[in-house]
Copies of this chain bind each other. A is one copy, B any other.
Amino acid sequence: MQPLGLINGEIIDINSNVVPMEDRGHQFGDGVYEVTRVYNGKCFALKPHMDRMYRSLRELRIPATYTFGELAEFHERLIQESGITEGGVYLQVTRGIAPRAHNFPENTVPRLTMSIRPIGAGTPLTAIRESGAKIIFISDERWLRCDIKSLNLLGNILGKQKAKETGCFEAVMLRDGLVTEGTSSNFFIVRDGVLWTHPVNNLILKGVTRTIVIEHIAAELGIPVIEKAFDGEFAKGTAEAFLSGTTTEIAPVVSIDGAPVGSGAVGPITRKIQYAYGKLIDLECMR
């Protein structure tokens, strides 16, 4: 059970120097990434993650150089060789190595780096999923292509750090007064039995967990979903709220900016969705 890296299809020490200073990831954040959760030694929802990765590459016009089959095999190999059964596989592709200039270089090869790290059962996330997360609202200062899962993450970093320093789990962002998403999660509210979340456009990432919640879980449970932007006050006046994400899974939100959400306890619809999400993981990874 040790973290491992992978580059050019070869397993490596995660701490070894494998990137030259003029990799465009290192100098421009010019690349895309994905994180896939591993349960019971199996990847959960790998296909939608890789599909989204290919979309991000297309949007940035970085050529795709590995097939889904090859990427699946690399995930497999990292799991096998690390012995990690509960963890996360990180994958990123940069536009490659070239003398520094803003425009796309010609004749470079995109660079794939991957790694695996364990995610323990005893992390703070376990407690947060059980008893709920405190969050803060902050201003969304990111660029206007948040639909691309790119390496330009400073806005997310600064937001997450602010959350941490105010004793919160996550910062959820507002642009022009409307709630977009968390720094590493999507944000849902429950109002009068209806699920609300920001629609898919250039202002949010189309989360894989978000899609599962809307298309599988809510559909199956018969919970109506409204994909429409709403403001901070609307969110604060809600009965329930939760965050969704690959690592976050379904995390109930019990307070926003220090004020309780609903009764301040985890709500019943959130619990149902959490339970259903757990069942989907069981179905895909536990047998």
Q: A90-B100, A161-B103 are in contact. Are A154 and B17 (CB under 8 A)?
A: no
From B19, B28, B92, B143, A141 is in contact (CB under 8 Å) with B143
| Cross-chain contact of A160 among B61, B97, B102, B152 (Cβ < 8 A) | B102
Set B21, B60, B163: member contacting A154, Cβ < 8 A: B60
**Residue A7 CB within 8 A of the other chain:** yes
Q: Pick the residue among B19, B25, B115, B151 that contacts A17 (CB under 8 A).
A: B19
Complex alpha-carbon distance, A92 and B115, angstroms? 24
Instruction: Decide: B142 and A143 in contact? CB cutoff 8 A.
Output: yes
Number of residues of chain A lying within 8 A (CB) of chain B = 56
Report the separation of the CA atoms of residues A176 and B14 in the bound assembly, to the nearest whole angstrom.
44
B17 touches A20 (CB 8 A): yes
Contact A144 B145 (CB under 8 A): no
Contact of A131 with B by CB under 8 A = no
- With a cutoff of 8 Å between Cβ atoms, the chain B residues found around residue A102 in the complex are 153, 156-157, 160-161, 183-184
- Do A18 and B15 have beta carbons less than 8 Å apart? no
Q: How far is the CA of A192 from the CA of B152 in the complex (A)?
A: 41
Chain B residue contacts of A141, Cβ below 8 A: 143-145
A 204-237 to B, binary, CB cutoff 8 A, 1 in contact else 0: 0000000000000000000000000000000000
Whether a CB of chain B sits under 8 angstroms from the CB of A58 is no
A181 CA to B151 CA in the complex, in Å? 23
Tell yes or no: A30 within 8 A of B by CB: yes
Q: Which of A165-222 contact B (CB under 8 A)?
A: 183-184
A73 at the interface (CB under 8 A from B): no
Tell me if A7 and B30 are in contact (CB < 8 A). Answer: no
Does A107 belong to the interface (CB within 8 Å)? no
Q: Nearest CB to that of A183 among chain B residues?
A: B102
16 contacts between A and B (CB under 8 A): A14-B20, A15-B97, A17-B18, A18-B20, A19-B19, A19-B20, A19-B21, A25-B26, A28-B157, A60-B154, A103-B161, A104-B161, A141-B144, A142-B143, A142-B144, A152-B153
